[in-house]
Structure 1
Amino acid sequence: MRPGSSVPSAAELAGLFEADGVLLYAVEGQDLSVAEMWPEHPSASCLKLQVGFGVTGRVARTGEPLLIGSDSPRNALHRQLLGLEDQQTVARMCLPLRGLDEEAGVVGVLAVHRSPQRPFGQDDLAHARSFATVLGLRVHAEQLWRAVNRHRTERDRLVKQAISAQEAERRRIAFDLHDGVTTALASMSFHLSAADLTVSEFAAHDDADDPARAQALERARAELVSARELADMAYSQTRAAISGLHSLVLDDLGLVAAMESLVQMATRDDGPSIELVVDPSVATDDIPDHAAAALYRIVQEAVSNAVKHAEADRIVLSLRRVGGSIVLGCTDDGKGFDPVERRQARSADAGGAQHFGLSSLVERCAIIEASLRVESQPGRGTTVLVEVPL
């Protein structure tokens, strides 16, 4: 048997039964495929037997073992795996293998063969039954593992599609705002400036003996100035919204350049200083596009939380590689908070009336299977660490 294992291999089973060969089949839907065989054959993975048909398929369907003194399978590849020439027959013992529970049913079939001159008997069947449980558990465990991998692969594909679709929608909205709203606001500001200039010139040449008219012109000019200021503010806010919706730098130059651009935009004279530290060992080319997009959104949220809520003087962003993972950090020297109290408050907030800026971080990390750690104490700042396995 394999070192440290109680599950015999196909070769070991062949030795135990003095057999010419052993095939271990796994049930996959309505088919049986070869999970292991001895002697090995390069075409083993190509063999598919239908459940319910033939000797092996019948055992898989009924769950009853079969002993056959002389059998001649019709499937050409099956005969090739059994090493049979034309018209040659073989003695076979086929035993159903069951899974972890009744619901799993028959998960595989153990098929042992040798010369018809030495047919299998009840003693052989009883001996084979002593291995059936562990072989069934092994086949079932391998099936579950393959199913998990399939689901994980499908999940990863769907996550990539979802993030890509989200970023594409953000890009579309950003371009629509840029080409439509910002252009209109810029044009509005220009026309308001022109109107202000016209009113000012008209007021300068107006009859000074009509105070009411002069006051009306002055009020009109004040309204134009206020409207222009509002248009300029709307233009600036729209530009900021466009930058928040989509980063062209992320598309063109990658995550590090996008983080640098974000730091520049987030740094204000009246706000905290923001520093970015990137480990030279970080190769952002290794980060998939969907993960880079998610990390950029996480950086946006973390910096926004620190700027709006932490009352910090200094914020440090970091990006480094630790083993096979990328670790993103955001540390501030602000007022901090009690994580336990914060979690309890969120749990009690069933209606979502309170928002502490951490929910979206948790959700984004969960999507890309990143681990999130938040360390904070009142009066001692906050550290957010996000680790993304590559």
Structure 2
Amino acid sequence: MSAAASSIPSAADLAGLFEADGVLLYAIEAQDLSIVDIWPEHASAGSLKLQVGFGVTGLVARTGKPVLLEADSPRNSLHRQLLGLKPQQTVARMCLPLRGLDEEAGVVGVLAVHRSPRRPFGPDDLEAAGPIATVLGLRLHAEQLWRAVNRHRTERDRLMKQAISAQEAERRRIAFDLHDGVTTALASMSFHLSAADLTVSELAAHDDSEASMRAQELERARAELVSARVLADMAYNQTRAAISGLHSLVLDDLGLVAAIESLVQMASRDEGPSIELVVDPAADTDDLPNHAAAALYRILQEALANAVKHAEADRIVLSLRRVGDSIVIGCADDGKGFDQEERRNARTMDADGAQHFGLSSIAERCAIIEASLRVESVPERGTTMLVELPL
């Protein structure tokens, strides 16, 4: 018996061990007992639901105490079918509680063994079944924990996708609002300022000696208009840049690779380091979920912005490749780098006391999509960031 108890026996094994006519193994789900193993097999076993606290099996589940019955006759018709009972027929039963790993788990299931009333179960059977019940309880608890983990993981993935999708939708809405409202107004203002400047120029051209004071005032007005137009153009360009930062229409329309290419092109317009993009031809991203593509785009966007702003680099290389079933993106620069140990042990502060949140923001985005992040940096030898997302 001890050798059998050291393994995890099936219902058929237990029937042989106890010379029983049948075995039913129940697991507790909420307030119901459901069959997870049965011998002899029965097509309707999955339909039986016994409520915790009711009937012999339910009582064992609630009290945690084993029960021996010399002659039992369950009232549930399906239960009787599974026990192979005819009308008015009785059966000897042994029901044991199956406990989980700790007291908090409590009873996680019930082992029910039955045979002819002519051979009722006794204390020796109950004692022999104890170690087996312990093993079965641990197995049931482990399975329940595994299912709970999978449920939580599935729910987490669903909420994560919803959160990223909602975030991108809000970015899209703000970008469209800026485009349709602010940039249109700024463009119109710039047009009117140009027209006013032209009018002032024409008036100044008709100046004569008797109207010199008026001409000077017109010139001052013209200077003010020119300054206003410069500011309007600056506001327009900054708003356009903000729109591009908020949401990438290229990502929606053409996918991740095209969006990164657009990101590099925009960043390369300004004076600064040389920016390159290396894409592995085998890096197919067609099967990449939309929320994951958006997250990877934001990570590279943040990494590029950090490198341009803080690295003091001459060259920055963005990369995208496929490694097995994973997408790997990277950002490498030849800038000033940093001491990783010091970065871990101290907050990185600007001269005015503002904290850099670049790396922490990237780490948070990686955690949301369950991607791994690796950052390698050496002072005066640059920094390399790699993000790997399993698909």
Residue number in structure 1 paired with 2:80: 79
Counterpart secondary structure, 1:206: coil
Give distance in 2, aligned partners of 1:300 and 1:322: 21
Give distance in 2, aligned partners of 1:215 and 1:2: 109
- Give the aligned CA root-mean-square deviation in angstroms: 2.3
How far does residue 199 in structure 1 lie from its aligned partner after superposition? 0.7
How far does residue 384 in structure 1 lie from its aligned partner after superposition? 0.7
How far does residue 39 in structure 1 lie from its aligned partner after superposition? 3.1
Give distance in 2, aligned partners of 1:188 and 1:344: 50
How far does residue 233 in structure 1 lie from its aligned partner after superposition? 1.0
Counterpart secondary structure, 2:347: helix
Counterpart secondary structure, 2:317: strand
Q: Does 1:17 align with 2:25?
A: no
1:33-65 deviation per Cα after TM superposition (whole angstroms, max 9, x unaligned): 222223333433332211001111110011111
Amino acid at match of 1:157: R
Residue number in structure 2 paired with 1:367: 368
Q: 1:2 touches 1:9 (CA, 8 Å); kept in 2? A: no
Distance change >3 Å, CA 127–CA 208, structure 1 → 2 = farther
Residue number in structure 1 paired with 2:205: 204
1:259-270 matches, within 5 Å, as 259-268=260-269, 270=271
Residue number in structure 1 paired with 2:189: 188
Residue number in structure 1 paired with 2:30: 29
What stretches of structure 1 of length at least 5 have no aligned partner? Answer: none
* More displaced stretch, 120-129 vs 280-289: 280-289
Counterpart secondary structure, 1:81: helix
How far does residue 87 in structure 1 lie from its aligned partner after superposition? 3.8
What stretches of structure 2 of length at least 5 have no aligned partner? Answer: none
Give distance in 2, aligned partners of 1:319 and 1:56: 59
* More displaced stretch, 380-389 vs 201-210: 201-210
Residue number in structure 2 paired with 1:108: 109
How far does residue 155 in structure 1 lie from its aligned partner after superposition? 0.9
Amino acid at match of 1:237: Q
1:274-353 matches, within 5 Å, as 274-346=275-347, 353=354
Residue number in structure 2 paired with 1:228: 229
Distance change >3 Å, CA 125–CA 348, structure 1 → 2 = farther
Q: 1:2 touches 1:8 (CA, 8 Å); kept in 2? A: no
1:55-66 matches, within 5 Å, as 55-66=56-67
Distance change >3 Å, CA 271–CA 2, structure 1 → 2 = farther
Give distance in 2, aligned partners of 1:2 and 1:258: 63
Give distance in 1, aligned partners of 2:331 and 2:16: 61
Distance change >3 Å, CA 130–CA 294, structure 1 → 2 = same
Q: 1:313 touches 1:334 (CA, 8 Å); kept in 2? A: yes
* More displaced stretch, 78-87 vs 9-18: 78-87
How far does residue 347 in structure 1 lie from its aligned partner after superposition? 8.6
Residue number in structure 2 paired with 1:144: 145
Distance change >3 Å, CA 250–CA 228, structure 1 → 2 = same
Residue number in structure 2 paired with 1:178: 179
Percentage of matched positions with identical amino acids? 83
Counterpart secondary structure, 2:380: coil
How far does residue 356 in structure 1 lie from its aligned partner after superposition? 5.0
1:321-358 deviation per Cα after TM superposition (whole angstroms, max 9, x unaligned): 22332111111111111111112222999xx8321521
Normalising by structure 2, what TM-score? 0.93
Counterpart secondary structure, 2:286: helix
* More displaced stretch, 178-187 vs 364-373: 364-373
Q: Does 1:219 align with 2:220?
A: yes
Distance change >3 Å, CA 80–CA 205, structure 1 → 2 = farther
Residue number in structure 2 paired with 1:383: 384
Normalising by structure 1, what TM-score? 0.94
Give distance in 1, aligned partners of 2:153 and 2:270: 46
Distance change >3 Å, CA 90–CA 285, structure 1 → 2 = farther
Give distance in 2, aligned partners of 1:73 and 1:331: 72
Give distance in 1, aligned partners of 2:368 and 2:52: 39
How far does residue 244 in structure 1 lie from its aligned partner after superposition? 0.8
Give distance in 1, aligned partners of 2:376 and 2:8: 46
